[in-house]
């Protein structure tokens, strides 16, 4: 898919009725529209584009303007309160997250950082001054070993800017860098051998964190992008957001996770939706996620099973949610096939 480009004019969306166009226009006034041409093609290639999982992820809908109790906040995770410096989120002792840009090729309708790109806010990348201040903070806080590059999508930066940021982080004593990018899904041509080779040549450990939500996203071009990253020595983990009406189906997610594993990508997290304004219609509830977790445990290789997690408000962090297999009241276990079995050594103190 060469010559990918960004579309931000709703009149370029094919096949719209006047009513649908009006609905999209009113939603896009609050939360702007933007998609890559290649991501939109993934929707157009499906049998019923306007009801497809890809369409729901990238085309504005009237549901974004509805009110859902508990989904009033724009910063539902309290990230801004865990931010000692602009563009730095330091929530956990040994790792911190850097918002290197607010640009993305696709504005995902469920994005929990909508606050960073709504209001038609100008595209904005981290400045030298901001980066210098953050590097000084990292040098003072030796307990921070890992930095996540996030945003926005860090791969919206030029190669030279990205390399500059990574080398400055390494000079500040950072051991591990996690590049959190949806580009392998949203603009796979952006991944080049040259950039991946340069990044992997840094002494630090570099990990890539992709974001695929649906098997239709993981097409030939996306697979090829992932292969390029892995071939150059950078391991890939994937995160998936559980989205009502998009991917809240056990078989469908199992297919995605298996295909990721076949390409060498480890499903890492499955996130419950966050309580963020304009995204309430995507929330499934935790019970749904736990039902999926149980199905995965019984039917999928552990290589393919991600950790189901919920990011708590007020900066409470990500907590893993597990199906219960241990009953401490009588020291017994629920087996994968539903039997109750005890383990002779489990009660040793
Ligand atoms: C998710 C996240 C991390 C990384 O947490 P892990 O559990 O290691 O994946 C770090 N900082 C912030 C602010 C995060 O949201
Ligand atoms: S790519 Fe990530 S940061 Fe960008 S809009 Fe989508 S979910 Fe939000």
Q: What is the pLDDT of residues 20-54, one digit of tens each?
A: 999 999 999 999 999 999 999 999 999 999 999 99
Has residue 229 got a pLDDT over 90? yes
Hey, which of 153, 242, 247, 276 would you mutate to test ligand 2's pocket, going by the most ligand atoms within 8 Å of its Cβ?
A: 153
Q: How far is CA 225 from the centre of its chain?
A: 17
Has residue 64 got a pLDDT over 70? yes
The answer for residues whose C-beta is within 8 angstroms of residue 152's C-beta and 6 or more apart is 99, 100, 101, 102, 103, 104, 113, 116, 117
DSSP, res 245: T
318 in contact with ligand 1, CB cutoff 6 A:
yes
Specify the residue for token string 């038609």: 120
Q: What tens digit of pLDDT does each residue of 301-326 get?
A: 999 999 999 999 999 999 999 988 99
Helix (H, G, I), strand (E, B) or coil at 241: strand
Helix (H, G, I), strand (E, B) or coil at 13: coil
Nearest ligand to the C-alpha of residue 319? Answer: 1
Alpha carbon nearest to ligand 1 atom 1, residue = 318
Has residue 1 got a pLDDT over 80? no
92 in contact with ligand 1, CB cutoff 6 A:
yes
Number of helical H runs and strand E runs in the chain? 10, 14
103 in contact with ligand 2, CB cutoff 6 A:
no
Helix (H, G, I), strand (E, B) or coil at 134: helix
Q: How far is the CA of 109 from the centre of ligand 2 (A)?
A: 8
Q: What is the pLDDT of residue 168?
A: 98
DSSP, res 339: -
DSSP, res 155: G
Alpha carbon nearest to ligand 2 atom 1, residue = 182
Q: How far apart (Å, rounded) are the C-alpha atoms in residues 148 and 220? A: 27
Q: How far apart (Å, rounded) are the C-alpha atoms in residues 255 and 87? A: 36
Has residue 329 got a pLDDT over 80? yes
Of the pLDDT bands very low, low, confident and very high (cuts 50, 70, 90), residue 121 is: low
Query: Please, what is the average pLDDT of the chain?
Result: 95
Q: Which two structure tokens, joined as six digits, stand for 284?
A: 């499934």
Q: What integer is the mean pLDDT of 13-17? A: 96
Up-side HSE of residue 6: CA atoms within 13 Å toward CB?
Answer: 12
Q: How far is the CA of 310 from the centre of ligand 1 (A)?
A: 12
Helix (H, G, I), strand (E, B) or coil at 17: coil
Neighbours of 257 (CB within 10 A): 25
Hey, which of 64, 89, 98, 111 would you mutate to test ligand 2's pocket, going by the most ligand atoms within 8 Å of its Cβ?
A: 111
Neighbours of 15 (CB within 10 A): 8
Has residue 118 got a pLDDT over 60? yes
Q: How far apart (Å, rounded) are the C-alpha atoms in residues 166 and 148? A: 10
Q: What is the pLDDT of residue 60?
A: 98
Has residue 226 got a pLDDT over 90? yes
The percent of residues above 90 in pLDDT, for the chain, comes to: 90
Angle between helices 193-200 and 220-231 (to 10 degrees): 30
| Strands in 93-221 per DSSP E | 95-99, 146-150, 176-180, 205-211
Q: What is the pLDDT of residue 2?
A: 62
145 in contact with ligand 1, CB cutoff 6 A:
no
What would you measure as the largest C-alpha separation in the chain, in angstroms?
70
243 in contact with ligand 2, CB cutoff 6 A:
no
């Amino acid at each position: 898919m060469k010559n990918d480009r960004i579309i931000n004019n709703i009149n370029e969306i094919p096949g719209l009725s006047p009513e649908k166009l009006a609905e999209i226009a009113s939603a896009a006034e609050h939360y702007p529209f933007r998609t890559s041409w290649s991501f939109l093609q993934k929707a157009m290639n499906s049998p019923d584009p306007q009801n497809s999982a890809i369409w729901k992820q990238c085309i504005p809908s009237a549901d974004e303007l509805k009110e859902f109790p508990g989904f009033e906040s724009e910063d539902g995770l309290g990230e801004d309160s865990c931010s000692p410096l602009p563009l730095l989120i330091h929530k956990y002792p040994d790792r911190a997250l850097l918002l290197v840009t607010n640009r993305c090729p696709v504005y995902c309708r469920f994005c929990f950082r909508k606050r960073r790109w709504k209001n038609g806010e100008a595209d904005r990348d981290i400045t030298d001054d901001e980066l210098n201040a953050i590097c000084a903070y990292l040098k003072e806080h030796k307990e921070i070993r890992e930095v996540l590059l996030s945003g926005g999508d860090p791969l919206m930066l030029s190669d030279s800017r990205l390399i500059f940021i990574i080398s400055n982080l390494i000079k500040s004593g950072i051991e591990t860098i996690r590049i959190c990018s949806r580009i392998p899904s949203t603009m796979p041509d952006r991944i080049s051998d040259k950039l991946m080779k340069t990044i992997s040549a840094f002494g630090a450990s570099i990990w890539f964190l992709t974001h695929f939500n649906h098997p239709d996203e993981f097409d030939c071009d996306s697979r090829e992008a992932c292969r390029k990253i892995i071939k150059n020595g950078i391991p890939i983990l994937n995160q998936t957001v559980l989205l009502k009406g998009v991917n809240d189906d056990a078989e469908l997610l199992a297919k995605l996770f298996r295909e990721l594993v076949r390409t060498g990508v480890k499903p890492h997290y499955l996130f419950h939706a966050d309580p963020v304004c304009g995204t309430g219609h995507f929330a499934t509830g935790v019970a749904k996620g736990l039902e999926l977790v149980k199905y995965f445990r019984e039917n999928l290789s552990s290589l393919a099973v991600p950790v189901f997690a919920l990011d708590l408000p007020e900066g409470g962090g990500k907590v893993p949610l597990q199906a219960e297999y241990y009953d401490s009241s009588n020291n017994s276990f629920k087996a994968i096939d539903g039997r109750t079995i005890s383990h002779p050594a489990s009660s040793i103190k």
